[in-house]
Amino acid sequence: MTAVVVTAWAARPEDLDTLVWARGDLAFVPPLAAAFVAAAFLYGAFMRRRARRALGSGPLVERLVARVHVAGRVLSASAVVLAVLLLGLALVRPQYGGKARVIPASGIDIVLAVDYSKSMLARDVYPSRSERLEAELRHFLDDVRRRGDRVGVVVFAGEPRGLPLTRDTRLVELFLERADPRTEEPGGTALGKAIRLALSFLVDARREAETKAAEAGRPAPAGKQVIVLMTDGEDTVSNPLAAADEAARLGIPVFTVGIGSVSGEPIQTFDEEGNPTGYVRDEDGNYVMTRLDRKTLETIASKTGGRFIHVSADRFGLDEVRAAIEAFGAEAHEDRIEVDREEGFAYVLAPALALLCVGIGLPDRRRERRLR
C-alpha cells in the first residue's frame, strides 16, 4: 500500500479532516472504468443506428422504432457510468477525519538476541531464567513502542533464527511467543552465531538507509545501532569473542545481560511434549550444572564498547540497558505521523448501488398507451 500524504495543522496535528485516499496506487481505476463503460454504451448506440439504417427508411421502420425511449436509454447509461465511477472510488478507499500523533523516532536500531537454550529453564533466578527473561522483554518492548525505535529479534539455542528490524513490536511479541526452551532444536548455546545473525540484520538496515538516501540525493543518516544479548553466557558451539570483534569493527556495541547465578543449577531434560523427565548427567552420573559465564559476557561488552548488566531479583536489567542506550546518543530519523482514520467507502458504495438499480430499472421502451 502506498503511503498517504497527510496534511495537518502545525498547531493542532491531532485534528485531521482532510479527505485522503488509502489506495493512491489505484487512483487511475475510477475514471478508466467509467470511460470504458461509457465507450461501450456509445458503441452500442452506434451499432443500433447502423442496423436501423440497414433496414431502410419509411413508415414501417418508423413504426418499429417508435417505442424506443431515447431519453430513458440516456438516463440509464448515465446512471450506470456514474455508478461504475463511484464503485471505483470505493475501491480506492476514501478516508476522513481521525486523529494524528507525531512519533519522534529516536534513531536507534536494536536487535534483541535472546537465549532460549534448555539451560534457561534453570530456577536459580525466580521463578526461572526463561520466565524472568520474558518479563524483562515485555517491559522493554513497552518502552520501545512508546519511543518508536526499530527492533529486531534473534532467538537462539544451538542455531539462531530471527525477525529483521521493524517498528511493529506486536510482530516481535508474536515471534517470541512461539519460542520455547523446551522445544528449541538443536540444543546448545550458540552465542557467536546469534551475534552474527543480529549483525546481518543491522548491516542490511544500514545498506537500505544508504540506498534510500542516495536515491533522494541526501547524505546517509548516522543512526545508532546496538545489540542486546540476553543469556547465561555459557557458549557451547561457537566462538562469541570472534563475533564480538566483528561487531567492534562495524562500530556496533553489544550490551550483554547476564541471567543466572554463578553457583549454578542442574539442567533439566524434557520429553517430546515438553514435560520434565529429570536432569542431565555426565558419564560419571554427576549432574551437569549451568552457571552464569560472567567473564565471557563482560569481555564481549568490553570489546564492542557496550556494557555488562547482571539481572538481579530486585530490578529489571533491561531498564539499565535502556538508560545506557539513550545515554550513548541517538541521531534522530525523520518523525513519523500515525493517523487512525474513519473509512468512508460506504458513503460512496451506497449511492453506487442505488444508481445501478436505477440504471437497470429504467425502461428503454415507451408504454403502448402513450403511443396511442
pLDDT in tens, 11-46: 343 444 566 776 777 778 888 888 998 898 888 888
First to last CA, the chain: 60
pLDDT of the residue at 16: 44
pLDDT digits 0-9 by tens, 291-343: 778 888 999 999 999 989 887 655 556 778 878 777 765 444 455 566 667 77
Q: What is d(CA 228, CA 255) in angstroms, rounded to the nearest whole number?
A: 5
Q: Which cell is 4 given?
A: 498517504
pLDDT of the residue at 199: 95
Domains, the chain, with CATH or none = 20-100+340-371 (no CATH), 105-327 (3.40.50.410)
pTM for the full predicted model:
0.56
pLDDT of the residue at 105: 52
Amino acid at 225: Q
Q: What is d(CA 151, CA 281) in angstroms, rounded to the nearest whole number?
A: 38
The parts of the chain modelled with pLDDT lower than 70 are: 1-19, 22, 56-58, 60-62, 64-67, 98, 100-107, 119, 121-129, 148, 182, 218-223, 233, 236, 260-290, 312-317, 328-340, 366-372
pLDDT of the residue at 328: 62
Structural contact between residues 136 and 231, judged by C-beta atoms closer than 8 angstroms: no
Nearest to 183 by CA among 209, 153, 220, 158: 158
Helices within 188-263 (DSSP H only) = 191-216, 240-250
Q: What is d(CA 154, CA 202) in angstroms, rounded to the nearest whole number?
A: 12
pLDDT of the residue at 229: 92
